[in-house]
């Protein structure tokens, strides 16, 4: 019987890519929906896009990281899943497209941590014997949405330590640091990542106990004595630890700091200015009954860090991960979702909440459900957040935003009279004033400066004369004393000569990619109606194909098409059982396959054309136990060398089986009275 393998193998730049067989298999999140937003609550944070766990082909998600491909100016998200690491390509406007994943190296686990050093991704997990996966992210450049969902393999796997809870990286030193690792040290195991293909261990910090999480950096703060050193700020054993890891073979403690009522020191993150740090205790909310607690440590003297402020949120959710962007601190606090705070250091209070996005606001109580982590995409002005049970959210902070954008007149760049641009900038409290505003993607008329100074929160009208740059997205860059943030000028409600990039040439433009243009502009359209601008088969009124895409852009996928039968594949051997009704779909489904014929969907070694194992079972599912499949000791089902009561109980549990049996005593793939009699004839005897 001819059979089609479940996957085709191919190689791209040395990275093994497994692409799902058959060209019609498409991405599971063909048309992303924001339906869950209706139940979300937010303030000063706007939802942009959402990809659910089912679209990521997993049950739960955890850690999240990002990679900015500077060569191609493309951003990717790296989302930890219970069964591996998912890759998502960030499209214009913040839309996310699921590409596929790097599967777990061993078994499923809720815990996975991901860090990026240069163009290399490192992944650890608490999954048994997982090790550390090393993956060259440049392989993602070769992927196209038309390829469908892909499965990548790690370039290298570091077997020891076998498990780890967390990772930290020091980009300046090229260090990759495992935390909470098994075997060598539950503190820190330091790898040299300067040669990403073969990272080697060159330091272990064991004498300070278990570290749960840490921030590694090359110190550039106010303490002159320690400037230029590679430091590790770690949370563990109810303390904040500061270690000098400049020489990983000779690690030294600089200092440690305590705090009141410690329960479980979870995570620490140092400010961009390196003069203070934020720390969370994961279990203090459930034990104290108070609001989410954030500990602010003064680091102006690294030899004597001290607790400068304790911030309590208005909600009681358990805290998890927090990261800074200049004067802004974003926290993923489980049931409270993503919280946005201003960091006013050294003013008091240091922390003030300025916004939040809570996709599941029914409960803000302590507990381990909801927002796990986030990554700040400063190049895009966005934040991506992972929600354990829901999936990945893309949101836009609104601590600065443009409204009332109007552009009158439209001449080609440098030709004719310049247009008149006007807009209103709204700036929230929390910025480190004064702000300097600069234009990008605009050619200014003579005499225009193109820069403004904003001294305080509020709204300010900006006007100038100039030309847009053809095919570019004009931006207003907000520069504070501590950070920079881009704002798109061509907002959804802007009054301007609308042009939208039409990259697939189907006559319809991408609503998320407005570009400047006057009159007819090659490669653009005035119709922002294309829901997938990379797919020439997708545009309003297009014929619906069975390809996993919303071809006619009506919000429905594959309607009216002849869909295919997906069979349950519980054991993951690539073949499904016909005993459970199939699900009809044009796209791949979790734990489902197109290939029926599995005679035992609970045994991964039993499927059509499987290799014979001489175990007394019908491995190849042809209905007969062939000579090569016969067991050398028929009746010893548990393979302990004896035919005992335990084996009899197994036989009786399969009595009446007529397909995919694992306790047959002869060449027939069934278990009947004949098998029982044969078993009784050898009962109590040892295997030869």
The reply to whether 320 falls in a domain is no
Position 2 scores a pLDDT of: 24
Higher pLDDT, 118 or 12: 118
- Domain residue limits at 685: 623-688
Q: Give the residue among 317, 310, 330 at the shortest CA–CA distance from 282.
A: 317
The reply to whether 70 falls in a domain is yes
Which of 496, 513, 545 represents a domain boundary (last residue)? 496
| pLDDT tens-place string over residues 112-163 | 999 999 999 999 999 999 999 999 999 999 999 888 889 999 999 999 999 9
| pLDDT tens-place string over residues 39-88 | 889 999 999 999 999 999 999 999 999 999 999 999 999 999 999 999 99
Instruction: Say if residues 262 and 270 touch (Cβ distance below 8 Å).
Output: no
Length of the chain, please? 688
| pLDDT tens-place string over residues 409-438 | 888 777 789 999 999 999 999 999 999 999
Distances (CA, A) of 389 to 58, 332, 355, 368: 10, 14, 22, 11
pLDDT at 356 > cutoff 90: yes
Position 365 scores a pLDDT of: 92
Query: Which stretch of 4-18, 331-345, 604-618 has the lowest confidence by average pLDDT?
Result: 4-18
| % the chain with pLDDT above 70 | 94
Dig out the tokens for 140 from the structure: 């993602």
Average the pLDDT over 647-673 and give the result: 87
Which of 129, 157, 185 represents a domain boundary (last residue)? 157
The reply to whether 303 falls in a domain is no
pLDDT at 21 > cutoff 80: no
Position 9 scores a pLDDT of: 28
pLDDT at 185 > cutoff 60: yes
Position 184 scores a pLDDT of: 84
Position 38 scores a pLDDT of: 54
Instruction: Say if residues 99 and 89 touch (Cβ distance below 8 Å).
Output: yes
The domain total for the chain is 3
d(CA 105, CA 164): 13
Q: pTM score > 0.75 for this model?
A: yes
Residue 159, preceding peptide bond in cis (omega within 30° of 0): no
Average the pLDDT over 650-674 and give the result: 87
Position 627 scores a pLDDT of: 86
Which residues make Cβ contacts (< 8 Å) with residue 280, sequence separation at least 6?
235, 266, 267, 268, 293, 294, 295, 319, 320, 321, 322, 331
| CATH of residue 439 | 2.60.40
d(CA 577, CA 569): 7
Position 355 scores a pLDDT of: 98
Q: Give the residue among 81, 80, 79 at the shortest CA–CA distance from 96.
A: 79
d(CA 612, CA 663): 16
Q: Strands 96-103, 150-152: parallel, antiparallel or unpaired by DSSP?
A: parallel
Residue labelled with tokens 């601590």: 399
Dig out the tokens for 622 from the structure: 């042809």
| CATH of residue 648 | 1.10.1330.10
Average the pLDDT over 286-314 and give the result: 95
For residue 35, name the pLDDT band (cuts at 50, 70, 90).
Answer: very low
The reply to whether 405 falls in a domain is yes
Query: Which stretch of 386-390, 452-456, 679-683 has the lowest confidence by average pLDDT?
Result: 679-683
pLDDT at 390 > cutoff 70: yes
**What SS3 class is residue 37?**
helix
The reply to whether 632 falls in a domain is yes
pLDDT at 8 > cutoff 60: no
Is the C-alpha dihedral spanning 153, 157, 161, 166 positive or negative? negative
The reply to whether 56 falls in a domain is yes
Q: At what angle do helices 645-653 and 673-682 cross, to 10 degrees?
A: 170
Which residues make Cβ contacts (< 8 Å) with residue 440, sequence separation at least 6?
474, 475, 476, 477, 486
Higher pLDDT, 614 or 236: 236
The reply to whether 132 falls in a domain is yes
Which residues make Cβ contacts (< 8 Å) with residue 596, sequence separation at least 6?
565, 567, 575, 576, 577, 578, 582
pLDDT at 269 > cutoff 90: yes
Distances (CA, A) of 480 to 399, 403, 638, 683: 12, 20, 69, 83
Which residues make Cβ contacts (< 8 Å) with residue 498, sequence separation at least 6?
514, 526, 528
Task: Quote the mean pLDDT of the chain.
Answer: 90
Which residues make Cβ contacts (< 8 Å) with residue 640, sequence separation at least 6?
646
Higher pLDDT, 292 or 492: 292
pLDDT at 341 > cutoff 70: yes
pLDDT at 103 > cutoff 60: yes
| pLDDT tens-place string over residues 472-489 | 899 999 999 999 999 999
Distances (CA, A) of 9 to 6, 13, 30, 536, 592: 10, 13, 24, 27, 19
Most confident of 460-469, 556-565, 588-597, 611-620: 460-469
Which of 138, 157, 176 represents a domain boundary (last residue)? 157
Average the pLDDT over 179-200 and give the result: 91
**What SS3 class is residue 292?**
coil
The reply to whether 682 falls in a domain is yes
pLDDT at 687 > cutoff 90: no
pLDDT at 5 > cutoff 50: no
Give the residues across from 242 on adjacent strands. 233, 255
| % the chain with pLDDT above 90 | 70
pLDDT at 268 > cutoff 80: yes
């Amino acid at each position: 019987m001819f059979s089609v393998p479940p996957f085709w193998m191919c190689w791209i730049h040395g990275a093994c890519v497994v692409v799902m067989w058959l060209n019609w298999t498409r991405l599971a999140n063909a048309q992303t929906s924001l339906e869950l937003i209706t139940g979300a609550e937010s303030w000063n944070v706007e939802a942009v896009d959402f990809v659910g766990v089912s679209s990521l082909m997993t049950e739960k998600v955890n850690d999240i990281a990002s990679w900015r491909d500077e060569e191609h100016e493309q951003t990717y998200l790296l989302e930890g899943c219970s069964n591996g690491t998912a890759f998502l390509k960030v499209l214009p406007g913040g839309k996310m497209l699921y590409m596929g994943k790097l599967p777990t190296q061993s078994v499923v686990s809720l815990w996975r941590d991901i860090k990026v050093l240069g163009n290399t991704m490192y992944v650890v997990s608490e999954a048994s014997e997982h090790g550390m996966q090393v993956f060259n992210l440049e392989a993602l450049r070769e992927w196209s949405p038309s390829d469908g969902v892909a499965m990548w393999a790690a370039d290298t796997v570091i077997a020891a330590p076998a498990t780890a809870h967390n990772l930290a990286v020091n980009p300046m030193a090229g260090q990759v640091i495992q935390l909470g690792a098994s075997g060598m040290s539950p503190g820190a195991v330091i790898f040299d990542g300067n040669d990403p293909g073969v990272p080697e261990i060159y330091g272990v910090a064991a004498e300070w106990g278990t570290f749960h999480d840490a921030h590694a950096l090359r110190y550039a703060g106010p303490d002159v004595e320690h400037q230029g050193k590679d430091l590790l700020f770690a949370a563990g054993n109810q303390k904040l630890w500061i270690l000098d890891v400049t020489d990983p073979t000779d690690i030294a403690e600089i200092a440690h700091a305590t705090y009141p009522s410690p329960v479980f020191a979870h995570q620490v993150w140092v400010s961009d200015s390196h003069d203070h740090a934020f720390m969370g205790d994961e279990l203090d909310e459930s034990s104290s009954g108070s609001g989410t607690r954030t500990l602010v440590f003064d680091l102006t003297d690294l030899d004597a860090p001290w607790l400068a402020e304790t911030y309590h949120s208005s909600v009681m959710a358990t805290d998890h991960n927090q990261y800074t962007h200049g004067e802004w601190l974003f926290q993923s606090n489980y049931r409270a979702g993503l919280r946005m705070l201003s960091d006013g250091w050294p003013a008091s209070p240091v922390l003030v909440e300025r916004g939040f996005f809570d996709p599941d606001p029914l409960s803000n109580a302590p507990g381990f459900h909801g927002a796990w982590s986030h990554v700040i995409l400063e190049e895009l002005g966005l934040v991506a957040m992972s929600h354990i049970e829901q999936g990945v959210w893309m949101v836009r902070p609104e601590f600065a935003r443009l409204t009332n954008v109007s552009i009158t007149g439209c001449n080609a760049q440098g030709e004719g009279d310049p247009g008149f641009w006007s807009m209103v900038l709204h700036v929230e409290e929390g910025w480190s004033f004064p702000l300097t505003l600069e234009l990008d993607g605009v050619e200014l008329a003579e005499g225009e400066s193109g820069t403004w100074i904003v001294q305080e929160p509020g709204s300010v009208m900006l006007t100038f004369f100039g030309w847009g740059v053809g095919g570019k997205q004009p931006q207003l860059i907000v520069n504070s004393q501590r950070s920079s943030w881009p704002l798109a000028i061509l907002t959804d409600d802007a009054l301007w000569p609308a042009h939208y990039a039409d990259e697939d040439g189907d006559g319809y433009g991408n609503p998320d990619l407005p570009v400047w243009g006057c009159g007819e502009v090659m490669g653009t359209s005035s119709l922002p109606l294309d829901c997938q601008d990379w797919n020439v088969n997708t545009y309003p009124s297009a014929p619906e194909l069975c390809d996993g895409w919303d071809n006619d852009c009506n919000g429905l996928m594959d309607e009216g098409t002849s869909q295919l039968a997906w069979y349950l594949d519980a054991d993951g051997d690539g073949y499904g059982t016909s005993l459970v009704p199939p699900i009809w779909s044009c796209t791949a489904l979790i734990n489902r396959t197109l290939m029926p014929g599995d005679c035992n969907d609970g045994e991964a070694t039993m499927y059509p054309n499987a290799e014979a194992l001489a175990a007394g079972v019908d491995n190849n599912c042809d209905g007969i136990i062939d000579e090569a499949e016969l067991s050398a000791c028929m009746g010893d089902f548990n393979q302990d060398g004896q035919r005992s009561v335990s084996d009899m109980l197994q036989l009786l549990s399969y009595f009446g089986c007529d397909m995919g049996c694992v306790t047959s005593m002869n060449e027939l793939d069934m278990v009947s009275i004949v098998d029982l009699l044969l078993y009784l004839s050898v009962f109590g005897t040892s295997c030869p």
